[in-house]
């Protein structure tokens, strides 16, 4: 009787439940689920890091822009300064407006004040187009975080269901409800579930954080467009 117990203990001991062993023992479907989730996790973290670094850089560029813009220099001097900075969205918005103004000056001379409304419309349109382009670039790949956050748990759940099905099949084939027969399939199922949550939770948290920061930044750009338009045409009327 003692030899039988020892044999059972040995058979249980040799079952390896490390993550690598769980992956290697899993069938093709569960392996595919695990690979998809791991790839999604790696790409999600790449997007998260890239966006956080990008936001930090944009804040730095915005502070530098505001410091120079409110220094009291003329719009022509500011244009010469900011026209070389092609990494700052706010600089691009400003330069697009001044470029439109310069084009109007060349075409119609100095009698721009009589066409102020048309000029304002063209400048606003130019700034809005630039704003939309820059917003699209900044938000690139951000939707992947939302997609990963919403779908990863379900992908993991699919792997869970499949692993449990394998466990029941193992019970039916072996006609044995011993834990050593059932445990590997259940472990694979739980591994897929955990991996799905591991992908989804950081993706959702990061998406909410980044979208909140971007929303504030875009509001700042839109406020600048309105403020710059007011200041520019007030100075134009005073000439």
- What pLDDT digit, counting tens, does each position of 81-134 carry? 888 767 889 999 999 999 888 887 766 555 545 577 888 889 999 999 999 999
Nearest alpha-carbon partner for 196 in 159, 164, 153? 153
Q: Please tell me the distance from the alpha carbon of residue 238 to that of residue 229, in angstroms, as a whole number.
A: 14
pTM: 0.78
Q: Measure the CA–CA gap between 102 and 121, rounded to whole angstroms.
A: 15
Beta strands in the chain (DSSP E): none
Contact indicator for 192, 34 with CB cutoff of 8 Å? yes
182: pLDDT strictly greater than 90: no
- Report domain extents, the chain: 28-238
CB neighbours (10 Å) of residue 41? 19
Mean pLDDT of the 12-40 span: 73
What does the pLDDT look like over 127-166, one tens digit per residue? 999 999 999 999 999 999 999 999 999 998 888 888 788 7
Distance (Å, whole) CA 189 – CA 192 = 5
């Amino acid at each position: 009787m003692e030899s039988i117990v020892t044999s059972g203990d040995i058979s249980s001991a040799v079952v390896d439940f490390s993550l690598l062993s769980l992956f290697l023992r899993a069938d093709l479907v569960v392996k595919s689920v695990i690979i998809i989730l791991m790839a999604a996790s790696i790409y999600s973290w790449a997007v998260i890091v890239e966006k956080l670094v990008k936001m930090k850089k944009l804040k730095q560029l915005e502070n530098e822009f505001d410091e120079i813009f409110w220094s009291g220099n003329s719009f022509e001097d500011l244009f010469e300064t900011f026209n070389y900075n092609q990494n700052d969205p706010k600089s691009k918005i400003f330069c697009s407006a001044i470029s439109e103004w310069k084009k109007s000056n060349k075409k119609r001379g100095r009698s721009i004040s009589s066409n102020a409304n048309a000029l304002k419309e063209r400048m606003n349109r130019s700034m809005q187009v630039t704003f939309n382009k820059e917003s699209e670039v900044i938000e690139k790949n951000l939707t992947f975080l939302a997609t990963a956050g919403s779908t990863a748990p379900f992908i993991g759940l699919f792997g869970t269901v499949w692993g449990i099905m394998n466990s029941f099949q193992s019970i039916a084939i072996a006609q044995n409800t011993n834990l050593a027969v059932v445990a590997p399939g259940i472990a694979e199922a739980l591994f897929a579930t955990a991996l799905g949550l591991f992908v989804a939770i950081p993706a959702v948290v990061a998406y909410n954080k980044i979208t909140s920061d971007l929303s504030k930044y875009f509001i700042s750009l839109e406020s600048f467009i309105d403020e710059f338009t007011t200041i520019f045409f007030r100075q134009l009327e005073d000439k």
